[in-house]
Amino acid sequence: MEDEDQQKLTDLVKELVLRLLSHGSPASAPPNPNSPHFQASLRYAVRILSSRLTPSVTPDAAAIAESIKRYLATHGKSSQALTFADLYTKFASKTGPGSVNNKWAVLYLLKIISEDRAKNELDSPSLLPNLESFDAELGDKSRVSQDRENGKMGWDKGVLLVSKDPENLRELAFKGYADLVKEENEVSEEVLVRDVLYACQGIDGKYVKFGTIVDGYILSDIVNVPRATRTMVRKLCELGWLFRKVKGYISESMDRFPAEDVGTVGQAFCAALQDELSEYYKLLAILEAQSMNPIPLVSESANSSNYLTLRRLSVWLAEPLVKMRLMAVLVDKCRVLRGGAMAGAIHLHAQHGDPLVHEFMKRLLTRVCSPMFEMVRSWVLEGELEDIFAEFFIVGQQVKAESLWREGYRLQSAMLPSFISNSLAQRILRTGKSINFLRVCCEDRGWAEAASEAASAAGTTTRRGSLGYGETDALESLIDEAAKRIDRHLLDVMYNRYKFKEHCLAIKRYLLLGQGDFVQYLMDIVWPELSEPANTIGSFKLAGLLESAVRSSNAQYDDPEILDRLRVKMMPHGTGDRGWDVFSLEYDPRVPLDTVFTESVMAKYLRIFNFLWKLRRVEHALIGAWKTMKPNCITSQAFMKLQRAVKVQLLSTLRRCQVLWNEMNHFVTNLQYYIMFEVLEVSWSNFSHEMEVAKDLDDLLSAHEKYLNSILEKSLLGERSQALHKSLFILFDLILRFRSHADRLSEGIHELQARTSESSLASRDKNKSRRRVNDGPSETSSWAADGRKALTQRAGEFLRNMRQDLDSISKEYTSLLEGFLSQLPVQQHVDLKFLMFRLDFTEFYSRLGLNKS
Amino acid sequence: MDPEAARTARESLDLAFHMSNILDTGLDRHTLSVLIALCDLGLNPEALAAVVKELRREPSVSVPATAPPSFP
């Protein structure tokens, strides 16, 4: 086939030559194929054909057709152009056997031939000088090279026709372009690229320097570069600016570290930034190596594929730009922050949707938060607060042992990072506090096992560096475990070693007068003492009395440790105070119980004690009064001897006295009952129930507060019950006055009785003596008669006075009690309906009130 | 050649001749057909054009006589 083709080729060429020659010579005689002219032409033709084997245009038939059309159109032959277009479409649509395969070749051929012909026809010497001058004008900016065989240019109706010549036009055009580029740029692109790379590391290059006024890396204006390049350089130098900022911050922090201005978190942040920067440096090193390769201009083919232009640089630097921007933003944010606040601020920035950003921030945060997590771990598992730079969100201060729990440690929310919630922080605080409390106040070592158990249960170890950012769940579980175990341990210690419950119970029995027999006995012994003025009472005596009271009641079987703590307290007194006003009992809680029973708590207990003690005193007084009012004192034979009027008076007075006593007794008894049972016992049962379910010391403290406050409120000692409290105390005073009156009455009656019995005795004696001695002195009878009358008179007077007093007391009492009872239902902050119910069971008082109104 | 192919060929030639006339190349039908055949065989059209141009010139232009070239 090859040979066939070759043969066909040769034949065709011969044929062509023949035809051309015959066409050329106007002679009608066909040329002789064997003529030397023909042979020479053939040889020449073959030479030409073999010299150029590759076309210089792309084999695109449509493009060639387009150019032909344009050529036709510009030459004013538009109708022919249309025709040509039509023809071309038809020609192009011919496919299949028999059609032309290389359509483009045909078209191209036609085009060239026609152009040649056109050119040849226009060949006139007059154009040549113009052409030469034209060449000179264009100079070296011409797009056509000078060395042409047919370097002629033709003009056709004002349009420049560029000749097609054997040389490859495109390459020459590109070379011309390259010259232009070199002309425009004073600085080559390679140098600029290298400068930009320097700028990205914060170093000034040859042309790109840092302008402090502009605050950026700029290419100075004197350098002659096209604007596009300038803009590109500017954009790439943003990276340099950001880098400078980040590096500046890092070196600043390093300098400040010895001054203890930058904390561990800040240090960790700097270290993380430096790691990121080292990645960046690696990239820059690779780019610099590449930038050493020369950049090929368009005409030359690239000798190595790794060259670096500004465009390629911008592609490479796109990702580091994003990261650097992030770092710069963080640096700005964190310049003034420290510790937990810094970690929190960075965490806020990490809430980002872009996974690249998210990954980056997560890496950063893991490094930054590790000192924080370390601090948390050591705090929670060991109670150690190693915080030199004050970055932790828990601060401790030096306080006495008893306020260690309440005030020794507190939360500093400024330093609390945002990924640790408030409740978690509270738990952390409590756990560490418990460990410290155990260590300091309870001198207990057992918490260490609890801590290590907690750590193993949570899956981490007690070593350093086992927790990290992003593992908030692990942190939470660790803290939960630790908190649970340590709280339990603490409560165990409180209950078992320090017998918290027993002490509370003891306080209730002694300070709140729960131990009835002890209180009764104490009251009995101490009563005469306390009636003296306050400054004459010696506390030693009272202590001795307390001792004897303890010994003679069931209290003696109590735990000696508890009894140890019970003692008498004399409050500071002024003149005119009686012993009653200054006497109180005291219980001494020691470490660690004084966390619960602080000074203020004990003061509250004291108030309640005083109230209860007064109530007891009143009760005791009434009982004493009752003792003297027993009927058998009155009904003695002397009574019978009294005169009738006196007898009646006496009876009525006595009756009145008894009625009043009954009322007062009813009131006091019910009040006592209400206080003892409805207030104290109920609150105690609530409190002991809460003690059962308390999970930690905070719970215990709050339960105790609640218990105490409820007692205070319900026994009308609160602030809002002051009016009620005052009226109650006035009632108490009245009752005590009544007691003194009753005492006086009974004394008077006794005296009367004594007198009457004396006089009766005397009269009996007289009678006896009268029988014996006839002539006895009549003075005795007269004296006796005198005495009896005086006695009666005096008795009557006395009794009248008594009755008046009693009346007044009774009136006062009734009105006061009514006032008191009317105030009871109005109280809104404490529910006194049970008290009212007891006091006014039969609605006697309320009906009384109704009747009056 | 089957009649179909022959017809196609003839029509293509006609179109090409018409185009060549518009472009005023001065080629006659026969020469054009030879040229088309040569193009189909894969010769460079530029070279062919050069041949046409050279050989159309005045016979007074001397043809440089060199060693007979050989086809590649």
For the stretch A29-55, pLDDT in tens is 555 656 777 778 778 877 877 776 666
- Does A518 reside within a domain? no
Q: Which residue has the tokens 């690229």?
A: A193
Q: Is residue A567 part of a domain?
A: no
Give the domain-ending residue among A497, A527, A550: A497
* Interface pTM, i.e. ipTM: 0.78
Q: Provide the strand spans (E) within A454-495.
A: none
Tell me if A700 is assigned to some domain. yes
Average pLDDT (A295-301) is 61
Per-residue model confidence (pLDDT) at position A132? 42
Nearest CA in chain B to A17: B55
Are B47 and A99 an interchain contact pair (Cβ–Cβ within 8 Å)?
A: no
Residue A362 counted as domain residue: no
A330/A442 same-domain check: no
Q: Does one domain contain both A190 and A239? A: yes
CB-side neighbour CA atoms (13 Å) of A350? 22
- Asked if B28's CB is within 8 angstroms of A23's CB, the reply is yes
Size of chain B in residues: 72
A338/A373 same-domain check? no
At how many degrees (to 10) do helices A722-772 and A644-673 cross? 150
Query: Which H or E run includes A520?
Result: helix A516-530
- Are both A739 and A684 inside the same structural domain? yes
Question: Do A490 and A396 have their domain in common?
Answer: yes
Structure tokens that stand for A220 in this block: 């100075």
Residue with tokens 């014996």: A772
For the cut 50, the answer to whether the pLDDT of residue A621 exceeds it is yes
In chain A, which residues have their Cβ closer than 8 Å to the Cβ of B21? none
* C-beta separation of A372 from A343 below 8 A: yes
Higher pLDDT, residue A642 or B37? B37
> Is A782 a residue whose pLDDT tops 70?
no
CA proximity to A42, closest of B72, B59, B68: B68
Q: What is the largest CA-CA distance in chain B?
A: 45
The average pLDDT across A251-276 equals 83
> Cα dihedral angle (A3, A6, A10, A13), rounded to 10 degrees?
160
Task: Look at A110 and B23 and tell me if their CB atoms are within 8 Å.
Answer: yes
**What gap in Å lies between CA A713 and CA A829, rounded to an integer?**
8
Answer yes or no: is pLDDT of A458 > 50: yes
Let me know: does A189 contact A310? Beta carbons within 8 Å. Answer: yes
**Residue A233 within any structural domain of the chain:** yes
Residue A462 DSSP one-character state: S
Amino acid letter, B64:
P
C-alpha closest to that of A61 among B39, B26, B53, B31: B39
Residue B2's region, left for phi above 0, alpha for psi from -120 to 50, else beta, is: beta
Relative orientation angle of helices A447-458 and A422-440, to the nearest 10 degrees: 150
Which element (helix H / strand E) includes A154? strand A154-156
Question: Can you tell me the mean pLDDT for A192-200?
Answer: 85
A639 and A752 co-located in one domain? yes
CA distance A196 to A205: 7
Do residue A412 and residue A485 come from a single domain? yes
Q: Which positions ≥6 away from B70 have C-beta within 8 Å? A: none
Q: How far is CA A343 from the centre of its chain?
A: 12
Write the pLDDT tens digit of every residue in A640-671.
Answer: 666 677 777 777 888 888 888 888 888 888 88
Query: Does A516 map to a domain?
Result: no
C-alpha of A541 from chain center: 59
- Whether A205 and A339 share a structural domain: yes
Higher pLDDT, A141 or A744: A744
Q: Is the pLDDT of residue A27 over 70?
A: no
Q: Is B11 within 8 Å of A94 when comparing Cβ atoms?
A: yes
Enter the DSSP assignment of A220: -
CB A840 within 8 A of CB A821: yes
Domain boundary among A497, A530, A552: A497
Subunit contact A110:B52, Cβ cutoff 8 A: no
Quick check: is A712 in a domain? Answer: yes
In the A/B pair of chains, how many CB contacts fall below 8 A?
190
Residue A534 maps to a domain: no
The mean per-residue pLDDT over the stretch A362-366 comes to 85
Q: CB distance from B3 to chain A under 8 Å?
A: no
Task: Give the one of A9, A23, A54 whose C-beta lies nearest to B31's C-beta.
Answer: A23
Among A497, A520, A540, the domain boundary falls at A497
Residues A106 and A252 in one domain: no
Are A553 and A518 in contact, with CB atoms under 8 Å apart?
yes
* Residues, chain A: 853
CB contact under 8 A, A98 and B9: yes
Two tokens at A327?
A: 């770092």
- In this prediction the pTM is 0.62
Residue A135 shares a structural domain with residue A188: no
Q: Could you tell me if A45 and A16 are in contact, meaning their C-beta atoms sit under 8 angstroms apart? A: yes
Q: Are residues A309 and A376 located together in one domain of the fold?
A: no
* Res. A140 pLDDT band, cuts 50 70 90: very low
Confidence grade of residue A804 (pLDDT, cut at 50, 70, 90): confident
Domain parsing of chain B, residue ranges = 3-57
- Do A388 and A303 fall within a single domain? no
Of the candidates A36, A56, A45, A21, which has an alpha carbon nearest to the alpha carbon of residue B71? A45
Q: Show the domain range for A663.
A: 598-844
Give the helix ranges, DSSP H, for A200-307: 227-256, 264-291
Q: What is the mean pLDDT of residues B19-30?
A: 84
Contact residues on chain B for A6, CB-CB shorter than 8 A: 71
